[in-house]
Amino acid sequence: MRDVAVIGIGMTKFGELWERSYRDLFVEAAKGAMKDSGVDNLDSMYIGCMSGGLFVGQEHIGSLLADYLGVTPIPAIRVESACASGGAAFRTAWIEVASGLSDIVLAGGVEKMTDVDGGLATYALATAADAEYEGFHGATFPGLYAMLAHAHMHKYGTTSEMMAHVAVKNHDNGSLNPNAQFPIKLTVEGVLNSTMVADPLHILDCSPVTDGAAAVILAPLELAKSMGLPIIKVLSVGMATDTLALHSRKEITHLASVATATKRALDLAGMTIGDMDFAEVHDCFTIAEICVLEAMGVYEPGQAGPASMAGETARDGKFPVNPSGGLKSKGHPVGATGIAQIVEIVKQLRGTAENGRQLAKANRAIAQNMGGSGGSSVVTILEKG
């Protein structure tokens, strides 16, 4: 396998983008990535999208987006793994470049979630859960993560205040991100006093419904060097699955797909979690960030909540998490989220993160993107060349 580098990044602003169409969002991000890399031709592209059919009534996305980007007749394929669709698209593009099949491959992600009402958006997202055993009985993702939160609180003594600290930290980071949907600062009291969505999760414990797109360009490392581009090397990508339904798992507070994907990525890179300088993780709910950090081995079970409360995951903490603002503040256009994580890591490794959110130490990082309540997960490790 060849070594692979990320040579270009592009991203739209995330938010309720009423005036923008699905295809226009993708084209903006993709053209931004191509311009950033200096390439004007692609060999192929992969697009992460969870549910174009339900959100905008559009399937056959590969053909549509290749057309509007002006890159037909290249192969263009839609990749779906619920909220991990972007990470899965990145993994597939990485494999194609590493294998030698192609040299210049775009990995993108896009979702337009606000063109439907709240009920239909909730229904569309719920299709990432077990339709017969969870969705049929009315379970939504706030409800599923609320059950996970209650189990974690019962087993480890995690508190609502600990979860609120996750939201406060991520919004502090997101307040510095020009692409964030909600670049506003929060207080612990504000989170705890916000509307209850599914006990114990308040509305400010939940990521928003979002429109947006992100894209990156992958190329062989040697080609990137010959082009004189900043070298951001893809050290490894790991992916794993777990049972779709929470009730089928041995322990619902342990995200097994995250643990397995992290181990695969670290083993392939020949590293440990201690070799990472920071992380972008899938904080679709505040309890998710806590469980993810424990599954990845950053903290022992039950310790991520207290660590977050102590400021260890802040920008100036022991192990910064979500300097982008995470899904919570930056936004969560589900198909684009995994690619947006890579965009942030590349900015940090290049030393170009905006508005003072640049980390003091940013040489190597890990991204974790998750589908549903942990039914799938993709973990990527990148390093500054």
SS3 258: helix
Specify the DSSP class assigned to residue 247.
G
How much is the average pLDDT of 122-146? 94
Alpha-carbon 11 to chain mean position: 13
Sign, Cα dihedral of 298, 316, 367, 201? positive
- pLDDT band at residue 216 using 50, 70 and 90 as cut-offs: very high
Listed as own residue / partner, the contacts of 130-133 with beta carbons closer than 8 Å and 24 or more positions apart are: 130/244, 130/245, 133/245, 133/247
What does the mean pLDDT of the chain come to?
97
Structure tokens at 258: 């995250």
Mean pLDDT of the 65-90 span: 98
- Alpha-carbon distance 324 to 330, whole Å? 7
Q: Which of 36, 48, 43, 49 is nearest to 8 (CA)?
A: 36
Phi, psi of 274 (to 5 degrees): -70, -15
Sign, CA torsion 92/93/99/101: positive
Spatial contact of 249 and 370, defined as CB atoms under 8 Å apart? no
> What pLDDT is attached to residue 195?
98
Question: Which residues, at least 6 apart from 238, have a Cβ–Cβ distance to it below 8 Å?
Answer: 260, 261, 262, 263, 264, 265, 266, 267, 268, 378, 379, 380
The predicted model gives 4-11 an average pLDDT of 98
Contact 149, 163 (CB under 8 A): yes
Average pLDDT over every residue of 209-223: 98
Query: What mean pLDDT is predicted for residues 273-298?
Result: 98
Question: Per residue in 309-352, pLDDT tens?
Answer: 999 999 999 999 999 999 999 999 999 999 999 999 999 999 99
Mean pLDDT for the stretch of residues 21-32: 98
Model pTM score: 0.97
Q: Which residues pair with 177 in a beta bridge?
A: none
Is the torsion defined by CA of 51, 53, 55, 61 positive or negative? positive
pLDDT tier at 266, thresholds 50, 70, 90: very high
Catalytic residue among 150, 165, 171, 332: 332
The pLDDT, as a whole number, for residue 374 is 97
Give the 3-state secondary structure of residue 3.
coil
Q: Is 332 assigned a catalytic role?
A: yes
DSSP 8-state class, residue 14 = P
pLDDT of residue 209: 97
Domains annotated on the chain, with CATH: 4-117+210-232 (3.40.47.10), 122-207+235-384 (3.40.47.10)
Measured CA to CA, the distance from residue 324 to residue 310 in angstroms comes to: 20
284 noted as active-site residue: no
Q: Count of CB atoms within 10 A of residue 112's CB?
A: 26
Grade residue 109 by pLDDT with cuts at 50, 70 and 90: very high
Under 8 Å between Cβ of 109 and 93: no
Cis ω on the peptide bond leading into residue 183 (within 30° of 0)? no
Does residue 88 contact residue 47 with C-beta atoms inside 8 Å? no
Q: What pLDDT is stored for residue 364 in this prediction?
A: 98
Q: 39-48, 115-124, 152-161: which range is least confident on average?
A: 115-124
> Tell me, what's the pLDDT at 207?
98
Distance CA(208)–CA(329), nearest Å, equals 8
- The per-residue pLDDT for 127 is 94
Catalytic residue among 83, 206, 284, 291: 83
